[in-house]
Amino acid sequence: MWLLFLLSGTLLLMVVSNLLLWENVSSGNLNSNETDGDLLFTEGLFDTATRLSQDIRDLDIEFLRMYVSTSFISGLFQKMLEFIEDMEFVVKALTCCHNYSIKTPENLDEAQQIPFNDFPKLILSRMWGWNETSKNLLTILRSIPGMHDDVISLAQAIERKLAELFEYTQSILTLIFGPTENVDRSIFSGLEDLKASDEELRFFALCKFSYCLRVDLQTIELYFKLLQCAVNVNSNVCLSINSEDSS
């Protein structure tokens, strides 16, 4: 932890010097050898956090697939197909995952309009929410009679990796911004239906959980890219953002 505080001052200066990113992603450059170690350390944190997020999204897909494959309710798989194909229902039922104080951006252009100092709260509110929600999910699944062990094991894996990602996220944001206060603490509200006796209600509750988790993780990965580019405009991530902007 002491290393994070030693590095945070240097990184803050680097980020400030690169704030023109929000006007033009190809701005500024830092070539001082004194910052090379800081850059490598921070790049490693970003890379690990992004990889963890991607792993969780893969586990999330497998988690829902396992739940469907271990369910004995006739026609549940067909219900899933109908659910996915009914886009009007998806828009109405799934797009309101959390009541965040700042709207989730739908693309890179919208993300780049977010004030730089809002990023810590944006990211930590989502990470805190899913870290707590995954614990609640695991508790509920364990209480459901007959819940398959493989489903519970995947929920455990998601919970562990979310906790790990939360720790990495806090380290990254502390390095760049210092301590963050007044973070929204909004827990996903769709888990109550998992306690219902109706199998279809439980299924749709898990579909919504799965969808909302993936959306927020993809949003966090986008925020990581922008922050990584702000810290080091020579990073491969920054070059990829430049390519997206010019396309």
Q: Which residues are annotated as a binding site?
A: 221
Q: How far is CA 78 from the centre of its chain?
A: 29
Annotated binding site for Zn(2+): 221
Cβ atoms < 10 Å from Cβ of 31: 7
| Secondary structure letter of residue 18 according to DSSP | T
Q: Taking the CA atoms of the chain, what radius of gyration do you get in angstroms? A: 20
Q: Are 178 and 12 in contact (CB under 8 A)?
A: yes
C-alpha distances in angstroms, 119 versus 10, 24, 194, 224, 241?
Answer: 19, 18, 32, 9, 17
